[in-house]
Amino acid sequence: MTESIGIVLGKLAFVLLFVLNFGGVLTWVERKQSALMQDRIGANRAAIFGFRAIGLFHGIADAVKMFTKESFRPANAEKFIFTLAPAISVFFALIGFAVIPFGDKLLLGGTEINLQLAPLNVGVLYLFAVAGMAVYGVVLGAWASRNNYALLGGLRAAAQMISYEVALGVSIFGCIMIYQTVDLQEIVRWQGGYWGGWLPAWGVFLQPVGFILFLTVGIAETKRIPFDAPEGESEIIGYNLEYSGMGFGMFLLTDFIETVMIAAITVTLFFGGWQVPYLMPDGFHFPWGGTVELANWAVAILQVVSFTFKVIFFLWLQMTIRWTLPRFRYDQIMRLGWKYLLPISLANIVITGFLILMLK
């Protein structure tokens, strides 16, 4: 706790703006990515003073629409919880980012700034706790609506998210066993090494199965297609059924923020977080002998940019998956979660442990 309040606020602003902007831009990305894959152009008509900016203003138009629409509340709804539920949903999606490291140490005017909002030594456990709370917003919103269809959606959300919570936790035990820490900053530092002098020691090379399992479960946790049983647009049920205006907007934003969240955790655990290949704290050290000296601030910027680009890649990947795969039936989701992902995760732990013992 050596950092002054100004620095903490600055980091907070950075993380919040990072996440919320990504969440907003994702609405645009979703439209454009789907258009790209379906030989279309995508939304490009929203214009400010004749400038269309390839449809980027559609996010702003959406936000204005959401804010200005009437937030209708059904007569029988539980007033307090109905109003609170979207806020809970967004809150638990946002606070998870507190422990995601987006850079190493930055020296600024003699003070050492840890580029991580909350340097928590139980970061992974905190993430699990937050992900476990995320289901509350959905279930409470569905229950408070006093609508049977919404309640169905809420029940499905509860069943799906709690089932996948188990697999989510188990799927990264293998990683934690290798890293021997649950501090996310330490996990990223661990991945700064090299095998054979050139291959970055990223978690994905050690835990390929764990990575695939985690990404699958992560997509399920975002409640988006192909795991969108809680929403079920084609069945006209859904936990956000009775919500309109910004209440609905916040549920929508939650989905996008969780997408960013999953991308960020995947990058942190499996793809070296802010690590740039061959970038040491004092500059590049290439395996073929060349070195490039860099100042501390330049290294920090490179690390943040590297983290950002990795996150963008995984956002793109999730969008592609979302627009490629059709949605699962409810029983298929349950079967996938309990009969396939969980046993494979457990087998992954056993095999990882066995290999660690063998190689020690």
The verdict on 4 binding another protein (CB under 8 A) reads no
- Choosing from 37, 108, 280, 295, the residue that interacts with another protein (CB under 8 A) is 37
Is residue 266 within 8 Å of 215, Cβ to Cβ?
yes
292 has which bridge partners? 284
Residue 340 contacts another protein per CB under 8 A: yes
Angstrom distances, CA of residue 51 to CA of 4, 58, 59, 137, 322: 42, 12, 14, 38, 30
Min dist. Cβ of residue 326 to another protein (A): 9
359 Cβ contact list (under 8 Å, min separation 6): none
SS3 content of the chain, % helix, strand, coil (to 5): 65, 10, 25
What's the min distance (Å) between Cβ of 40 and another protein?
A: 5
Binding flag, residue 324, another protein (CB under 8 A): yes
State the number of binding residues for another protein (CB under 8 A).
15
Distance from C-alpha of 137 to C-alpha of 239, rounded to nearest angstrom:
10
User: Contact region for another protein (CB under 8 A) — 31-39, 148-156, 259-267, 291-299?
Assistant: 31-39
Q: Which residue, 95 or 321, is less far from another protein as judged by CB?
A: 321
Rounded to the nearest angstrom, the gap between the alpha carbon of residue 116 and the centroid of all alpha carbons in its chain is 16
Helices (H), 38-122: 57-68, 79-95
Among 40, 65, 285, 329, binds another protein (CB under 8 A): 40
Residue in 2, 5, 6, 38 binding another protein, rule: CB under 8 A: 38
Q: Give the binding range for another protein (CB under 8 A) out of 34-42, 85-93, 293-301, 303-311.
A: 34-42
291, β-bridge pairs: 285
With contact defined as beta carbons under 8 Å apart, do 52 and 46 qualify? yes
Rounded to the nearest angstrom, the gap between the alpha carbon of residue 269 and the centroid of all alpha carbons in its chain is 12
Among 39, 70, 293, 331, binds another protein (CB under 8 A): 39
Nearer to another protein, 34 or 114 (CB): 34
Nearest approach, Cβ of residue 275 and another protein (Å):
26
CB of 36 to another protein, least distance (A): 5
Residue 346 binds another protein, judged by CB under 8 A? no
- 41 near another protein (CB under 8 A): yes
- Asked if residues 207 and 174 have their Cβ atoms less than 8 Å apart, the reply is yes
Q: Which is nearer to another protein, 278 or 323 (CB)?
A: 323
Answer for which of 280, 325, 347, 356 binds another protein (CB under 8 A) is 325
Cα 123 to the chain's mean position, in Å? 15
**What character string, x for contact with another protein (CB under 8 A) and - otherwise, covers 281-320?**
---------------------------------------x
Query: Own/partner pairs for 305-312, CB < 8 Å, 24+ apart?
Result: 306/274, 306/275, 306/276, 306/279, 307/102, 307/103, 307/267, 307/273, 307/274, 308/18, 308/102, 310/267, 310/271, 310/272, 310/273, 311/22, 311/260, 311/263, 311/264, 311/267
Q: What is the dihedral of CA 344, 321, 153, 264, to 10 degrees?
A: 80
> 17, exposed or middle or buried, with CB in 10 Å at 0-12, 13-18, 19+?
exposed
Residue 36 binds another protein, judged by CB under 8 A: yes
- Please report, in angstroms and rounded to a whole number, the separation of the first and last CA atoms in the chain: 36
CB of 270 to another protein, least distance (A): 18
Nearest approach, Cβ of 324 to another protein (angstroms)? 5
Note whether 329 binds another protein by CB under 8 A. Answer: no
| Window of 65-73, 230-238, 292-300, 321-329 that interacts with another protein by CB under 8 A | 321-329
Q: Which of 131, 161, 225, 344 binds another protein (CB under 8 A)?
A: 344
Residue 311 CA from chain centroid, whole number: 9
Query: Which residue from 81, 321, 346, 355 is in contact with another protein, where contact means CB under 8 A?
Result: 321
Chain positions contacting another protein, by CB under 8 A: 35-41, 320-321, 323-325, 339-340, 344
